[in-house]
Each structure stands twice: as structure tokens, then as C-alpha cells.
Structure 1
């Protein structure tokens, strides 16, 4: 009965009030339409925006008389009196300088002025899309204050705020029309590779920082909201065509194409449909660094050479030449030797591609009172993804299908997100297994040692060479002999082996990823304000999600079938204004439960005050708690990444990962055979810390070995404090904020070393050994061990803090904006050297923009400048310094109203100073383009 009562109450709220409908047009002093202007009901958080032609329709339950406020960037506010239903207005805005009256939805799940938002929020609307200097609207987001964008490849850019950036950024959520755009198996957003066409974007909002109280576990470090155009409000056919070149020293100059079309039509006031298609093609940024990963100062003559973008040379071993030849110790010595690798440029497909399609049906059976929506999105792309290794993501596809019912007071939606890895493969394992296809590791290293020993002794005894000279000559000769039969890129034999390996999903022999993971999600929200005479804005909502992991054992430990699990949550929020609407209180709380962990409550409290006679100063402060559930990979991954085996720490995953390893000849007696079987549980319960094993390798002192004890993973928690100010002082718009984040149970990776025999507690000793040498120490000394990457939580305090300040103004008719971001990590790395935070963010960033959308009639321009401080990049693939860089983007545009067209000529990184934002990626070059957009 209670459920029936609630459903009845919701339907009553949907159908029981009359509507007031106002239409009109917003123009400037020259009678030109103003697209994207905000139309807001004075005194309430209700509003809409104008379309490309400046037209709007505003529907409300409020009965006349009332007032509407009209605002747009670069124009003064205008308040119009509404005296009757179905009134038609023509509004003329005069030029000014303010951005504070724009309407945002994300901060409180309800429309409100950005000026009064309880937390920091950035908005990117139709005007910003039109004037962006970047080659795409998504790339233009990196010019917003507080926003970092790491470029993985031409079609994969990863957005982040407030530190802890990675390409697998599972701390940052991206919602497309309310649907989580996270790839289910990868656990992160692939930029806009399978996202939204810029023709269909109505607005973008970014919430930096934690927002778990309203959006749940994924909203931990920030959220990006993309909202598309409704086909009832934005009708007709729109199209764009861009062409140009990408320019990079490593890749040269290559063609760049980007085309899109949008069609929308309302067949009546009840039914409307829309469809979008966009296609992007270009040459990806080539990654060709040959820096020795293990010894940056060495050249390629180093016998243990491991090039950053050279793969296959990770396979190495310690060759004891004296033992192999039966010579006294110290005669020839020993050396670590790696196999000869292949460069990424012959292993990866650099033909970047993104194809996005979507289709939507909108049905309003009772006019604007209720709307049913079906939305289907299918994206397909080819890109390079850098995680533990560099992955050629070829033909990757992702689908989203949504059913939604909503009106101004509630929504209820259900959707499914599924991915298909297509022909994706691991370039490192491609190289490793191509090498093994023509000669096994055992044979290669045996031939190497068999050639090196006589060559070295001959160089000393007959050649009169110094030991160093003899060693260098012998290593060169040994590699030449061992490489006899090596497959040469470009030959049919190499291509045949490459095709075989990249179509094999067993990483012991192949490199292909097979992933068909999906999740199902249902969520809803109801605003009770209209039921209580708008005394306050009260919202309730909840969500449920089920994961289905299906990688056939290539990523997850799901060889015996798909793995499923679920999580759910519910929340409530109250928002109320006091003191002549100057003081605003927002309080919310959410409860979430994942089936593997205890439930978590995440509250948020925010206070803001609007000061000044003209209400042009707003001060805000907020505190909130948030959490992040471990990802699907944190829980169930089971992947040999080359340098380490990744094993998730879900309780029932530890025994799923079982692997067999060869044992050295000197260790076979202790291991009880030539091979051993190691279970993933050992990474957590019978292992040494990586640093201590490295120290032992230098000192051979058993006291240096330290047992590792990473705990099983738990949800990560955050307490976030924020304070800020927004204001209008003369012609200057000021927005500043500061934050302090305190983390507990911080999720990160710890690399451990598992001995093939013996125990990390050193209780088992070698039988009959008078020194009682622990068996595990012998395993480490013999090289009989394996590195594992574990998923765990930090026991130490990790904090971060920072702030942003932005100033926008007009100088004559020119728009000028400058912003600065400061970000800092507070973590005692010296005490916990094995713990990796992956903060990966510059301490200082400066951005500026300068332009004039109407330098003269129908002609405008814009320039964006970005400077980033140097920072240290820490990730599974590689660590290293990212140098400071400066980027300049620019565009000029010309509108032809008679054909509803805008022509643009622009370029990103026009100074040509190549840079990178993460160690291991290709350098980012320049993109020069010309575009034609019809009816944007």
C-alpha cells in the first residue's frame, strides 16, 4: 500500500497543476539573435535557454503575474514582466560583462544561477563551443579553470580536476544525458571517443571535487555533465565539416578530417525525433622514445636495454656466464641481458578514428507535463590507450541504450552500457610473443651465453682487449648470433606472426583483449517542492547498478564464465533560502552499498550568502564526505602486464589467479621441480616489498628483505572542505575558490615480489644448511621470483589542497579572461616509498583567453593561452618528469546569416612546441583546421 501511495502521489504531482507557457525571441541591439541566452523565473530555480535563432519557450506551473530574467555572456541583465499565459516577448539585451547569471543544473540537481551554486562549477555552452579555439569542443574544455586534460592520443583525452590524474581515471565521472559514459570493463571514460557530437551539445558543466552526496561512488574527484539538445527545442538539419593537418616531428604532416550531421524534427507537439552522426579520422601522435627505461643514461648497447617505446625487451634474465661454462666464479662474470625488442611504430595502428551515432525519440502525451525518451548511442573508435602497457584499441565499440520518463519535478531512467574490445591488443605482449614465435626465450638466452663466453675470453686472451672492451665486443657478437632468424618488420613472415599473435587472446602466446563487459543502471529523482508550495527545494532519489564482467580470462579472472555483482544507493537533499533570499542552505546525504563492502553514508552541507546592495557578491562554504568503490579491475583483474602481474583483491579473486613459472636450475631442488604454481593470494600473503628486494640485490644482506602485507581493498573515503567567492566588481567578474581534501583508505597499487619457494616470514630454512639460510632468500638470490601489482589501501594520511582564481572583463569590445590554478599533494613519500599515489598534476597552471566575437560585422576571433608547470608523472607504464609547457591556440570565424553558416580557421598549439602530458605517450604536435558549420 505504501508503494501505491507513493506512486499515486508522484502521478498527482505530474498531472495536477496548470501550466503557463511563454514564447519569444532574444536579440541584441542590432536585432541579431542571441543563441544560448538564459531565461530564468525570478525568485525560483526554473529556466530555459534560447536556440540558435534566439527563440525560446518557457513553461512553468507559476501563474501570472511574474518576472523573467534574461541573461547572456557579454550582455546586461533584462527583467520582463509576464502578465498573461501564452504571452509572446521580444527581448533586446544591451552589451555588458557578466557570466554569473548562467543556469547550471549539476551542482544541486536543480536549475540555479551559477552565481548561487553551493560548490564550484564550470560551464561551457553554445557560445563557448562556437568560439573555442581547439579542433573540437571537447578539447576546448582544457581552457576552463581548474581543469587538467591529459592527452593519450589524438582521439583520447582524459579530463581531471584536483589531482590524481591517470588515463584510467576512475576518480572522475562523465555523464551524457544522465548516462555514465564509463567503459564498463576499462572502468574509465575514453574521452569523447564514443561520446557526443558537438552539433548536439547544448551545455557542458564540470563540478570539480567530490559530489558523492548526490551522485554516488563514481563522483569522487569531479564530474563532467554533457546535456544534448532536445528535438522539440532544436529542430532542423545541422552539419559541419572540418579538414586540416596534424603536424608532429615523429609522424610528419598528415590529413585530419571531422564531419558531422544532426537532424531533428517535431512531428507534432507530442512527438519529436533526432539523429546524429559524426566521423573523425587522422594520424595519431607517434610515440618513439628510445630512452632506456631502467637506465636512462645508457644507450642501446646496454645488454639489458629496455626502451620506453620499445617492446619485447622487457624479457630479460641474469646470465651467470661462469656457471654456464663451468668456470671459477669471477672468470667471465655475469650480466643481465634482455631480448631485442620492436618499436611501437611497427606494432601499433596510428590510424585514429572515431565514429559516433545516436538516435532519440521524445514523446509528450500531455504536452510539456510529461516526456518519454528513448536514446540509443553507439560509438566506435581506434585509438592508443596507455595503462599498464600501451594498447592498440582498434575497432573498440560501446553502446548505451536508455529509457527515461521525466517532467520538471522528477525523472526515472534505466539504461545499459556495454563494450566490445573489437581487435584491441597489447603492443608489449605482441612484441614479446612475436619474439617467442621464432625462437623461445630459453634458446635465445642459451645462444647468447654460448657466444658471449668464448668471444669475451678471446678478446682478452688473443685480442689484448681490456675487460670493458672485450665485454662490449662480446655482447654485440652474442646478440647478433642470438638474433639469427629474427623477424624483420615489413616482411611477410613478420606480418604473419603479428596477425597470429594479435588474434590470440591467451597472453602467454598472444596479445588480444577480449572484453564484452557491461553494466545495467537504474536511477531516479523526485523534487517535492511543488507539493509543499515551494517552501523549500526537497529532493529524493536513488540508483541501482549491476556489473557483468566478461573478458574470457584476458583481463579478469573469468575463465569459467562472467562475473556479476551489484551496488545501490539512495539520497535526499534540502535546499532553502532565508533573509530576503540572500542566505542559502543546502544539506544532503546519501547511503550506498556495494555487495562486497559495508554501506557508506556521504553527507554534504553548504552555506552561501549573497551580499551587496546590487546582490553582486556571493560567499560560499561547504563540507562533504565522499567515497569511491573499488573498480571492477581493482576487484577481479588477473593480467600479466609484463613487468608485473596484476591481481585484484576481491576475496574470491585471490584464488582464481593461478600461474605456472619456470624455476632456475639452482633452485629446482628447493622448489621440488622445474616449475612451480603460484596463486594470486601469495601477492598479498607471501611476498616481499619491491624496495627491499632491490636493496637486497645491491647488498645481498638478508636483513634488507622486508615482508609485504597489503590488505584487501576497501572503499576509498574523502572529506572535502571548500570555500569560495563569486562577484561582479565594475566590469570585472571574479570567481575564486580554495579546497582541502583529506583521504582515508586511499586506493592505490603496491608492487610486491613473490618468491617461488619459501615463505616471506623466513621461517623455512634450507635442509642441512649449517647457516640456516631461509629458503625464500635463496629464491630471491636465484632470481626465482615474480613481481605482482596488488590493489590495496594506504594506512597513511594523504591530503591534497589547492585553489583557483579567475577574472573576466572587457577591454573596450574585447573579452579578456585569466585564471590560475594551484594544486598540491601532502604525503610523506619518504616513509612509504613503495606506495604510489599517482597524483600526476602540475602545482601551477595559468590560462588566458582574448577575443572578440564581433570584431566587425559577422567576424570574430579568439586566442587561448595555457602554461603548465613541470610535474612528476607516476603510473604503471612508466614514471618520469613532465617538463613545463606553453600552448597557444587561436581561431578566426566568419558568420554568413543568410545561409546560417559559420566558417572557422584555427589551430591548436600553433607555436609548434611539442609537449607531452604523461611519460610514454607521443609528443603532442599541432593541428591546423578549417571548418564550415551549418545551423550550429
Structure 2
């Protein structure tokens, strides 16, 4: 009987509570009256919310009687806040129409804290390339839009090749900026280089690109060092329809793309995409020096092509959870710049498979990457090999055949020996990644905790790695991040930390902290973050030219008893202050100033032996060198070591002025500087007793300025964008692009412009001024035509080493977009 009365009492209490509360329901639609599925509807003061369903409908139940600010948000759309009064026992209907984001204050980003947030709530500098920007972009390379963002060093190596760097220390082999796509790494396995055009996603399937400036290693781990580039693709539940695109331009460029997304039911949706792009690079030949004689690159093929496709299946077990399966493939042929010459990429394919689960409090992600090539080769090395045979009387046929693997070293007039100097790069590497995350909120307190695991399985088939039987290297990371806000005063606090454990370079602790203050229609922030750049598998396990160059993952023992320590991570500590918001009617600003402390750079290749005095390598790690490299006596070994410490600083300012909703102007300016202690022997990269600028080159312009005008209304859109990059010196591997100068103060010019410098030709500093433009028109609601011009006035600008002057590029594109299965909802 007591249990019965207890049950009755409990039911009565629930009933009384229900009588004191009400509900909020409605529809979330876009400007075309189409349901927006997956929009977040949130009552801030109660920290209570839901996600809209397949038909755009939502309902929040058990809302205590009162008046609340209800926030409606979705990625790529403006955030709307409505004041809603709830009466006890009643349901109030609130329908909203979400418009595509035009103001930076209303943009929603995901990358910074791995959850949707308004731009002004994010304690970091984030550049956003929106779905509207991408839709109005003509061409297949969305990376070109990064040239319009503040704080970003954008370079072009040819018609196809583009690159992005953030906050200094760029190189021709740069892996310090992590790139991810839909929460999976977008990097090559053995080198850590970004996939770039190797990525499996296509332009028409990209929802948004977010570029974070500064380290973000706490949530993303190693190599989110100077910055992070995150690409998010479209969800078929909210992007149903078919897109067909055909384009072409000079340099024989042709692209054909297709995408289809369809909602099958309120539980299932799918998408697939395809792209074929091809063309021919500029007519440029990089000089290959053998001694002081220059030769043309051997059998240079300037044609490029890329083919990619992918498909995704989306399942919603509940209205607030989603299970996603994705597979993508790309195949590539093109030219690629490295520190030691250009590579001829031959049928290099990337395959990815991913399974991801997302719900209100849990996130789980597993993905697998395959990388395959058998015929890619280093053009510079192959050319040197070829010349060695031709100059010693071998036939053309034999010289060409043997140039892939060997070099001839003459020992007499008619004698010589064959040296193993392989130019071919084979790759059959694989990578497994997984992540599990939990997040929750209690009042104004948010918690995110998670763990990540990565297993790199590198396999060069013995062509450039010590990988007999393959190389398996694992790393595990655990992270936690807390956020606390005080809405009444506008203060916010963030504290995060990560512990990483790597099989070769041990454990690393990565902290992060931020304090924010709402000021007017904006946010002031002070942040601290640490980042680490890890040695690549090539740095750790490289084996080039028959053991002449070895990676330093385990250290070396020399015959005189000295030891060479294994490579450690490069680290950076960044202190930043910034403000983003509205400073006047129609004028918006996003500005930051930062100070970086970097140390433990990975050195250029160093000779660690002294054969003339009998100092040779005896062991690699704990193994005799002749067991690691059969036949090697360790007399000459080059490897990498950690060295150096340098402080850098700078600021970025982005201004947007809206003349109207359709017309705006953009101005971006960035400054970068550094302090290098030339009296610190730790900064002596080549151990010659002098610290030179070339040993820790920032390879970044001191000043960058860009101005753009954007117009989009009704059926017409267009923009024009001018970009000025101050001339700057660039030193990377065998390459020099710099003005004439005396580096060591001995009165003799060590660098000479427009002349051979070492093993490359120095064309002078990089940088210059270019103007890009694009225009488009919607012939019908479904059919549009667009055109774009890069380097409109054909300015003579060279943007990177081993690369041509970038001439004018123009392209035209016809795009057809239709939804045969459109389901509309009407607001009553």
C-alpha cells in the first residue's frame, strides 16, 4: 500500500509540474520554403534544446512558464534569436526562415571547439569560406578562395598546384598546418603533407571551409601547429538535389562534375559525387644542375588530371542522432614541388572509408586511408642519374632505363661503379584513425572529453624508407576541455589539455586556455595555446641513396662513443589577443595580435660522421648499421636533428563593410616579424659556427594586403579581389628565391639574384600584386553560367620556388542544379 501511495504522489507531482510548463514547436525553413533538417533550436537560459527533424519540425517540451530567448542556428545560415513567451499548459508555435549567412556575426562554425558556435562566441581567429562563396566560385579548386582570407599565405605553383601556410616557416615540404575533412585527416601518411588535389571530395559537395589561425592541438593533436584547415561536406538531408557542371579554360583545362543527394525517408538519405579535371601546366622547365652544368628536367610531362568520386549513406536512428558511412577515391597525375626538385606524380591514388556516429552527447568516428603509387619519381634525381650514364658513353636507351634506380660513378677513363640512387617513389601506406568523444552541459558549464588513436602503416616497398616488412607507428591522445560562461556579465572561460603518447617520440602535454568578454556586438578574447609539429615518418625512418640519408627516429651511436639523440617534436607556444564584432553601422572587424615562442626545429640534413678522422656510425638505435642498411659501413651518413629557438609575432586585421545586403567591401591586412638570436649556438643549423638567416628562414612576407568587392543580388553575382604580397626571401632545401645579399658579413655576396645558387637557379624574391575576378548569372533558377580570371592584368609574379611565373588563367563554367524530389513546407 505504501508503494501505491508513493506512485500516486509521484504521478501527481509530474502532473503539477506539467501544468506549470508549456511547449514550443514550429518549423525551420530556408528562403525557398524548404525544410532545414538538423537546425539547432536552443533556449539559452535553460540550456535546453532540440534539433529539427526531416520535415524541419521541432518541439521543445516541459518549458517552465516564462519569456525566453530562443536561438535558431545551422551551419552556413544566419543565426536567429527570437523572444518567446510560454504559458503554462499551452504550446506556442514559432516558425523561422533561415537565410544564408551574409554577416560574419551570424556565421556558425564547428571546428574551433568541435561543436556548432556563433562566430562571435569562438575564442579563436577563424576564417570561413561559406557555401555561398563556394557556390559562386568558378572551377574545381576551392583552395583558390583561401587567397582572399586574412593571415593566410597562399601560393600557386602552377595551373593546378596551390598551397596554404599560416604564421610563418613555410617550406617546399610543409606539414605544420593540419588539414581535416569531415573529421578525418587529409594528409599523406609517410610525409604528413596535405592531400590538396589528392582529396576525394569535390567542389559541389563542400558545405564550408574553416581556417583557424594559430595552434589548436588540444582537440586535434599533432601538426595543428600553426593552424588548422577544416573542410565540411554537405549533408544530403539538407542539400537534396542534383548538380551537373562543365567547365573549361586556357591551358587546355576541362572539368566535368556531378553530385546527387536524395532523402529517402525521415531516416535515410544518400549522396554521391564525381569529378574529372584535366589540363596542362605552364611551359616551365626547372634546371637540374650536375656540377655547374644545367640540364632540362628529363621527360617532363606537364599534363595533369585528377579523377575522384565518393558516396555517403546517412541514417538517423532518432531525431537527434546520425550514423554516416562514406567512401571516397581519387587518382592523380601532376607535378609536385619538393625541397629537392619536382616530382612527377604518376597514378597516385587515395582511398578513404569512414563510419561516424553523432548524437547530442556522443561522437564516435573510425576511418581508414589507403595510399598507392608505383610509378611516381623524383625528376631531379632521375635527371642526374641519366646524365651520369650519358656522359660516360652509355646509350640513350640504357641511360633512360637505368635512370630510375642507379647512378654511374666513374673511377677511371673506362671504369666506374654503380651507386644506388633510386628516383622512384612507391607507396602502399595505410592509416587507421578512431575517436570517441563525450560532451555535456550543466547550466553554463560545458565539458568535452575524448580519446583519439592513430596507427600509421607506412610502406614504400623499400624505395625511400627503412620499411622491410612495413613500418607501424601508433599514437594515442586523451583530451578534455571545459567552458564556463556568465551571461549576465558577458565573461567566458575556457581551459583544455591533451596528453599524447607516440611510439617513437614519447609523451607530450598540450594545454589551452582562453578568457572572453562580450563587448557590444562582439567579443574580446585573450588566449594561450600550445602546438606541436611532429617529425614525419620520412624524418624518422627515411632511407635514401643506399643509406647516405637516414631518418633519425631512434638515434645513432658513433665510433668515438658519442651519441646522436633521436628527433623530438617541434613546439610552439602562442599568446594572442583579439576582437571580433560590429564596430560601427555596417562595419565589422576581426583582428588579432599574437606572440609565438618556437623551439626544437628539425634541422636541414646534417653530416654526423667524420670519416677522415675515423668517426663513423656504428649503430642505428641499438642495431649495427650493416643490419639496418646491408653493406653500409657508416662512413658517410646524413640525418636530421633538433635545433634552435626563435620568437615570432604579428597581427591580422579583417574589415567588412556592407553597403547593402547585396554589396560589401573587404580589406585584410597581415604583418609578421621575428627575433632570431644570432649569438645562440643552438640556432646554428648546419654547425658551421655561424647563425645565418637561411638556417631558420621564416619564408613568409612581412606585409600582406588584400582588398575585395563582392556583389550578389537576384540573378547576378561577381567579385574583384586585389592581393599584394611584399617581396620576401625564401630558402627551402636546394632552392633559393632571394635578393642579392651577404649573409655572413664577410664582404662577399652569398646569394645572387638571377644566377645559379648551389643546385638551383635563383629568380629573385617571391611576392607581387595580382588581381582576380569572377562573375556569374543565373539564366534560370536551375541554370547558371560563371567566369573567372586569375591574375587579370597578367602581372609577372612568381609565387613559389621551382615554379613558373603565374600567367593569366581564365575559365568558364556552366552549372545546372535541380531537385526532382523537392518537398516544401508552408508556414501558416
The one of 865, 875, 885 aligned to 2:722: 865
Question: Structure 1 residues 78, 213: CA separation in 2 closer, same or farther (over 3 Å shift)?
Answer: closer
User: In the alignment, what sits opposite 2:591?
Assistant: 736
Shift of 1:809: 0.5
Distance 2:730 2:50 in 1: 42
TM-align CA RMSD: 3.6
Q: Contact 2:494 / 2:515 at 8 angstroms: preserved in 1?
A: yes
In 2: Cα distance, 1:87 partner to 1:211 partner: 41
Which residue number corresponds to residue 793 of structure 1?
A: 642
Cα shift readout 1:677-719 (whole Å, capped 9, x = no counterpart): xxxx68x988xxxxxxxxxxxxxxxxxxxxxx96431122221
Select which of 23, 27, 39 maps to 2:27. Answer: 23
> Following TM superposition, by how much is the alpha carbon of 1:127 offset from its aligned partner in structure 2, in angstroms?
1.2
Partner Cα distance (2:44, 2:657) in 1: 27
SS class of match (1:269): coil
What is aligned with 1:265? 262
- The alpha-carbon deviation at position 92 of structure 1 amounts to 8.1
In structure 1, C-alpha distance between the alignment counterparts of 2:359 and 2:541, rounded to whole Å: 39
Deviation for aligned residue 1:371: 2.0
Bigger shift: residues 825-834 or 60-69 = 60-69
SS at match of 1:526: strand
User: Structure 2 matches for 1:378-397, cutoff 5 A?
Assistant: 378-387=329-338, 388-397=340-349
Question: Counterpart in 2 of 1:377?
Answer: 328
Alignment map for 1:922-933 (pairs within 5 Å): 922-933=804-815
Task: For residue 133 of structure 1, report the CA deviation from its aligned partner.
Answer: 6.7
2:313 is the counterpart of 1:310: no
- Counterparts of 1:379-778 in structure 2, within 5 Å, are 379-387=330-338, 388-440=340-392, 493=396, 497-498=399-400, 501-502=403-404, 508=420, 510-529=422-441, 532=442, 534-558=443-467, 560-580=468-488, 582-612=490-520, 616-640=521-545, 645-651=548-554, 654=556, 711-728=565-582, 729-752=584-607, 754-759=609-614
Q: Which residue of 2 aligns with 1:179?
A: 184
After TM superposition, the score normalised by the length of structure 2 is: 0.80
On the 8 A contact 1:155/1:354 being kept in 2, the answer is no
Q: For 2:55 and 2:143, how far apart are their aligned partners in 1?
A: 26
2:733 aligned residue (860, 876, 880): 876
Distance 1:59 1:627 in 2: 43
Alpha-carbon offset, residue 802 of structure 1: 0.7
The residue that corresponds to 1:68 in the other structure is 71
Q: Does 1:809 align with 2:664?
A: no
Counterparts of 1:183 and 1:434, CA distance in 2: 29
CA deviation vs aligned residue, 1:871-930 (integer Å, no higher than 9, x gap): 1111113122223311111011101344x1221111111111132222222222221011
The Cα of 1:750 is off from its aligned counterpart by: 4.6
- Post-superposition Cα deviations, 1:831-866, rounded to whole Å, max 9, x if no partner, equal 545353342111100011102112xx4112101111
> How far has the Cα of 1:536 moved from its partner?
1.5
1:812-891 to 2 correspondences below 5 Å:
814-829=663-678, 832-834=683-685, 836-854=695-713, 857-881=714-738, 882-891=765-774
| More moved, 547-556 vs 749-758 | 749-758
Matching residue of 2:174: 169
Contact 1:517–1:551, Cα closer than 8 Å, also in 2: yes
Asked if 2 retains the 8 angstrom alpha-carbon contact of 1:154 and 1:383, the reply is no
Counterpart Cα distance in 2 of 1:918 and 1:715: 27
Does residue 358 of structure 1 match 2:358? Answer: no
Q: Distance in 2 between matches of 1:549 and 1:82?
A: 60
| C-alpha contact (below 8 Å) 2:191/2:536 kept by paired residues | no
Q: Deviations over 1:735-763 (max 9, x none)?
A: 100111101323332533744432469xx
The Cα shift of 1:72 comes to: 10
Structure 2: which 5+ residue stretches go unaligned? 1-21, 408-417, 617-632, 687-694, 739-764, 819-828
How many matched pairs?
A: 724
Give the Cα separation in 1 of the matches to 2:245 and 2:82: 35
Structure having the higher strand fraction is 2
Distance apart, 1:571 and its partner CA: 0.5
How far apart, in 2, do the equivalents of 1:67 and 1:410 lie?
A: 24
TM-score (norm 1): 0.71
CA contact (8 A) 2:603 2:685 kept: no
Q: Do the aligned partners of residues 848 and 36 (structure 1) sit closer, same or farther apart at CA in structure 2, a change above 3 Å counting?
A: farther
Bigger radius of gyration: 1
Bigger shift: residues 877-886 or 218-227: 877-886
SS at match of 2:104: coil
Distance 2:337 2:50 in 1: 41
CA distance in 2, matches of 1:562, 1:611: 55
- CA contact 1:220–1:627 (8 Å) conserved in 2: yes
Alignment of 1:249-328 (within 5 A): 254-288=251-285, 309-311=286-288, 313-314=289-290, 316=291
Q: 1:210 maps to which residue?
A: 215
